[in-house]
Structure 1
Amino acid sequence: MKYPCPSNLNIWWNMGSMLFVTLAIQILSGIMLSMNYTADGNLATESMSYILRDANYGWALRSTHMAGASLFFALIYIHVGRGVYYGSYMKLPHVWYSGVTLYLLSMGVGFLGYVLPWGVMSYWGLTVITNMMTVFPGGARALEWFQGGFTISTFTLKRVFVLHFLLPFVILGMSLIHVVLLHNDGSSNPLGLDTTELVVPFHPYYTSKDLVGFVFMLAALSALAFTFPKITADPLQWQTINKMKTPAVIKPEWYFLYAYAILRSVPHKAGGLALMFAAILGIALLPTLGKYAKAQSMVISPLGEALFFIWVANFMFLGIIGSQEPAGAWILAGQVGTFVHLFCMLSIPAANAKWEKMLFNGYGKWIQI
């Protein structure tokens, strides 16, 4: 409660506490859903139907859990965007690396949860992603072990369920490490300046601020769960699996669409996989690329700001591309979007450093005059 914080933190610093609350909601609702779920290829769909129709408040738990996943990733992307814009990766590299690890774990848990309804999109989505393992040496043997045989079956579903149940607790532990690292190094701030002499205690200043954020977060969660539950739901998730017929368009949840668009942008399997991992893990390079800049925040760098907003707009554009059938102009659009995503992400630190050099050199000449 007495943790010293910079006095100028704005609303974008609320995302971390909101993520903690959302994670708690996901773990609790997931535990209760698991009591009625059956990880069996022949019974999974029936158990989901039982949860929605017969289990006490099962429909509410299912809607909350599904909406919570979307809200969790929305908060993650805002949290990452804030870190990039305000240069948090420069002051807190260890915190940044732990955050990237949390993002990767969250992606894994999110994908595994997408598989559990065991509908058409679940089955074929799992087929597409797991087949990517064959790109790596020994991947075919690893795929066979994960599937529990030569094809996807009940044994695969059981493995998916166990991993989806256990990994959130790993995320919870890693989140605590994330917070400990943050408290050891101290929070960054919107101006990116040393505010050691201008700090305030966490309580009551930021506890009250976080409580206001929780109200808006819970309102958004309630709206997604109970008013607009079909926004992120795919009707194909409730169709019986037909292993002999591939859907015309296979797509993941919205929060993975940008990565899926990049994966499909290259016809070669290994090339698409390499670009996708480069797009996801590229943010881990920012502390190294940003070591040449002095100021953390983009407030003084219009060039960096322009690249950042192009990067954000292109991220949304990739999401649209990932939801379309990979044909015609959409393939070219995906390739252009992939290039823009990687270019902007890796150029932001260099643009900030270049602008600082121009700014401070010009200021020095003005002082001499």
Structure 2
Amino acid sequence: MLKQPKDKSSLVRVMNSTFFDLPAPKNISFSWNMGSMLFLCLFLQILTGLLLASSYSPDMENSFITVMLSMENVTKNWLIRYIHANGASLFFICLYYHIGRNMYYQSYLYKHTWFIGVTIFILTMATAFLGYVLPNNQMSYWGASVITNLLSEVPYIGPDLIKLVWGSSSVSAPTVMRFFSFHFLLPFVIVGLTIIHIALLHETGSKNPLGVLSINNKYMFNPIFIFKDMLGFMLGLFSLFLISLLFPLTLGDDENFFNFNPYVTPIHIQPEWYFLFAYAILRSIPNKLGGVIALTAAIFILYLMPYMHLAYLPSTFYPLNKLIFFGFSVNVLLLTWIGMCPVEKPYILTGQILSFCYFLYYTMSPLLNYYWEKTIKL
């Protein structure tokens, strides 16, 4: 247990020994850089978000016009907004890669660290959705209407819960004000949980690709892994600025250029690309309540992964399990594609099959691990 430092120099030494001199396995790869990349993305999103908030008006009638005018009249505000919008995409790319790596190498066995990480993931999704609504364009308005309407399926309190969220009988000015408030506050909650997440990680140490104990086979985090993280920062920032300057609208929707119109429904309502896999699962169930349950289960099933693990040896020792994991990754990508497709044949049936395979992975993978381990012991 660390003693209370008596002066500032002692405090610096404690911080260095805690955060920079942490022993890390020698054989960790670039996949372990995603944690630091996520911290960089979070910092950029908070910084650009604070700058954008200074020129934003949370009003139903004027939000869209305010956003458009601020991009034209406020110095470099167009660049800040594009960095913020595309930075969210970079954030989710790193986040999904980070979660996938932890699933592949079974880092979820560090339960407390995993639970905090999943909570950060859910809060990040909530923050991104709230921010998507704020420009009040045609797609964000109808996206907010569709997603918040799902709350009507909550037993007993569904209708009252929708009114509480909307602050009115439909998506209106109070809704935008509430969404703006929570979109502003949640990132700071995520920062606090991130600090807890890192502290818990330092208690257990990082896993390594072999999944075996490596107590005597470690390097200090500084300077070797600091330089690796800095290389990841440069690559990430280069990619972000390249897209923001040359292809800023690639990941957006054409409906984002139009002010909201409550009397004209877009032909195909869809969220941002990083929500499409969950949106496809929602649409694959013909019953509204069933779709809400499937959508919720698709995210919250991550909390159950530590308890579904049955084997002792890491799954990376079994080639078939590797194939299943990469098949699961392809399945999520295909669900993302299905979420962009119209609700018609053959996309409906394809989405239902892919949704079934999505949930099948969470039961099949641990059972196969257990089977292979018992077979080898025999």
Moved over 4 A (4+): none
Name which of 355, 358, 374 aligns with 1:338. Answer: 355
> Structure 1: where are the runs of 5+ without partners?
362-369
Aligned to 2:367: 350
Aligned to 2:152: 134
2:312 matches 1:294: yes
Matches within 5 A, 1:1-369: 1-90=20-109, 92-136=110-154, 137-290=156-309, 292-296=310-314, 298-361=315-378
Contact 1:261/1:322, CA 8 A, preserved across alignment: yes
Contact 1:321/1:330, CA 8 A, preserved across alignment: yes
One-letter amino acid of the counterpart of residue 135, structure 1: E
Deviation at 1:248, TM superposition (A): 1.2
CA distance in 1, matches of 2:320, 2:36: 31
Deviation at 1:60, TM superposition (A): 0.7
Contact 1:301/1:356, CA 8 A, preserved across alignment: no
2:24 aligns to what SS in structure 1?
strand
CA distance in 1, matches of 2:31, 2:365: 20
Structure 1 length normalisation: TM-score?
A: 0.95
Deviation at 1:22, TM superposition (A): 0.6
CA distance in 1, matches of 2:300, 2:363: 11
Contact 1:286/1:349, CA 8 A, preserved across alignment: no
Contact 1:8/1:189, CA 8 A, preserved across alignment: yes
Deviation at 1:89, TM superposition (A): 1.0
2:219 aligns to what SS in structure 1?
strand
Contact 1:308/1:345, CA 8 A, preserved across alignment: no
One-letter amino acid of the counterpart of residue 356, structure 1: E
1:38 aligns to what SS in structure 2?
coil
1:129 aligns to what SS in structure 2?
helix
Deviation at 1:349, TM superposition (A): 2.0
2:182 aligns to what SS in structure 1?
helix
Alignment deviations for residues 125-160 of structure 1 (CA, whole Å, 9 cap, x no partner):
000011111111202111111111111111110001
Alignment deviations for residues 34-54 of structure 1 (CA, whole Å, 9 cap, x no partner):
000111111101111122111
> What percentage of residue pairs aligned between the two structures are identical?
39
Aligned to 1:365: none
Contact 1:286/1:346, CA 8 A, preserved across alignment: no
One-letter amino acid of the counterpart of residue 227, structure 2: S
CA distance in 2, matches of 1:12, 1:318: 23
Alignment deviations for residues 259-289 of structure 1 (CA, whole Å, 9 cap, x no partner):
0000000111110111111111222211111
Deviation at 1:327, TM superposition (A): 1.4
Aligned to 1:366: none
CA distance in 2, matches of 1:56, 1:173: 32
One-letter amino acid of the counterpart of residue 134, structure 1: S
Deviation at 1:224, TM superposition (A): 2.0
> Structure 2: where are the runs of 5+ without partners?
1-19
Aligned to 1:367: none
Contact 1:282/1:346, CA 8 A, preserved across alignment: no
CA distance in 1, matches of 2:104, 2:197: 20
Alignment deviations for residues 221-241 of structure 1 (CA, whole Å, 9 cap, x no partner):
112211211211111012122
Task: Please give the root-mean-square deviation of Cα atoms over the aligned residues, in Å.
Answer: 1.0
Aligned to 1:364: none
Deviation at 1:19, TM superposition (A): 0.1
2:222 aligns to what SS in structure 1?
helix
Deviates more, 1:345-354 or 1:51-60: 345-354
Structure 2 length normalisation: TM-score?
A: 0.93
